[in-house]
Amino acid sequence: ACGGGKDEGKKESKNDASDDGVQEITIKLSHEVAENTSQHVGSIAFKEYIENASEGKIEVQVYPNGQLYGDQDVMQSLAANNVQFTQQDLSKLVGDDERFNIPSLPFLFASDDEAVEFWDSEKGMEILSALEKDGIYGLAMWPNGPKHFTNNKRPLKSPEDFKGLNLRTQGGQVLEDVFKALDAGSVSIPFTELYTSLQQGVVDGQTNTFVNTESKKFDEVQKYLTVIGDTRVDVGFFANKEFMDSLNDETKKIVEEGIKAGTDAAREASKEMNEKAFEEIKNRGNVEVYELTDEEREAFVKVWEPVYEKYAPVIGEEYIEAAQNVGK
Partner 1 sequence: MDATIVLLVSFVILCLLRVPIAVSLGLSSIFALSMIDFTMYPVIHKMYVASSGSALMAIPGFVFAGIIMARGGISFHLIEAIKSWIGHVSGGLAIVTILACMLFAAISGSSPATAAAIGGIMIPSMVEAGYSKRYSMGLVAAAGTLGILLPPSIPLIIYGVVSEQSIGDLFMAGVIPGILLGVILIIFAIVNARIHKYGRLPKQNMKERLQKTRKALWGFILPVLILGGIYSGAMTPTEASFVAAFYAFIISIFVYKEMTLAVFRRIIKESINITAMIFLIIASATIFGMFLTAEQIPQDLAHWIEGSATSKWTFIIGVNILFFILGMFLDSVSIILITLPILLPILILFDINLIHFAIIMTINMEIAMITPPVGLNLFVVSGISKEKLGEVVYGVLPFFGLILIGLILVIIFPQISLSLLK
Partner 2 sequence: MKNKLFTFLEGIEEFVASFFFIGGSIISLYGVFMRYIVNSPVTWTTEIFETFMVFAIFIGFGMALKDNQHIAVDLLYEKLPSIAKKIVDVIANSLGLGFSVFLTVMGVEMVSVAHQQGGITIDVGVPLWLTYLAMPIGMGLLSFYFLLKLINIFRHWNKEEKTQETNIEELF
Positions that interact with partner 2 (CB under 8 A): 76, 79, 91-92, 94-96, 133-134, 164, 166, 169, 171-173, 176, 185-190, 202
Q: Which one, 203 or 269, has the nearer CB to partner 2?
A: 203
Q: Got the DSSP string for 191-247?
A: HHHHHHHHHHTSSSEEEE-HHHHHHTTGGGG-SEEEE---SEEEEEEEEEHHHHHTS
Give 82 or 158: the residue with its C-beta nearer to partner 1: 82
**Dihedral (CA of 70, 73, 76, 77) sign:** negative
Pairing of strands 205-208, 148-151: antiparallel
Using CB under 8 A, list all residues that contact partner 1: 1-4, 6-7, 28, 34-36, 61, 63-70, 72-73, 76-77, 79-82, 189-190, 192-193, 195-197, 200-202, 215-217, 220-221
Is residue 273 classed as helix, strand or coil in its secondary structure?
helix
Least Å distance between CB 144 and partner 2? 17
Which one of partner 2, partner 1, none interacts with residue 149, CB within 5 to 8 A by kind? none
Shortest Å distance, C-beta 250 to partner 2: 33
CB-nearer residue toward partner 1: 76 or 325: 76
| Comparison of 117 and 176: residue with beta carbon closer to partner 2 | 176
DSSP code for 291: E
- Contacts by 82-85, CB closer than 8 A, 24 or more apart: 82/28, 83/28, 83/29, 83/30, 83/240, 84/6, 84/27, 84/28, 84/29, 84/239, 84/240, 84/243, 85/27, 85/28, 85/29, 85/30, 85/46, 85/237, 85/238, 85/239, 85/240
Give me the least distance between CB of 172 and partner 2, in Å please. Answer: 5
DSSP one-letter code for 326: T
**Is the CB of residue 139 less than 8 Å from the CB of residue 263?**
yes
DSSP 112-159: HHHHHHHHHSHHHHHHHGGGGGGTEEEEEEEEEEE-EEEESS----SG
Q: Nearer Cβ to partner 2, position 15 or 200?
A: 200
Which of partner 2, partner 1, none sits in contact with 135, Cβ below 5 to 8 A by type?
Answer: none
Which of residues 37 and 226 has its CB atom nearest to partner 1 in the complex?
37
**Backbone phi, then psi, for 27, in 5-degree steps?**
-110, 130
CB under 5 to 8 A by kind: which of partner 1, partner 2, none does 193 bind? partner 1
The option from partner 1, partner 2, none interacting with 52 (CB < 5 to 8 A, set by class) reads: none
Q: Which does 236 bind (CB under 5 to 8 A by kind): partner 1, partner 2, none?
A: none
The listed partner (partner 1, partner 2, none) that binds 73, CB under 5 to 8 Å by sort, is partner 1
By C-beta, is 189 or 254 nearer to partner 2? Answer: 189
List the single partner that 101 binds among partner 1, partner 2, none, CB under 5 to 8 Å by kind: none
- Residue 109: CB minimum distance to partner 1, A: 27
In order, the DSSP letters of 29-56 are EE-SS-TTSHHHHHHHHHHHHHHHHTTT
7 binds, among partner 2, partner 1, none (CB under 5 to 8 A by kind): partner 1
Minimum Å gap between C-beta 198 and partner 1 is 9
Q: Smallest distance, Å, CB 32 to partner 1?
A: 10
Closest C-alpha to 208, from 167, 173, 176: 167
CB of 233 to partner 2, least distance (A): 14
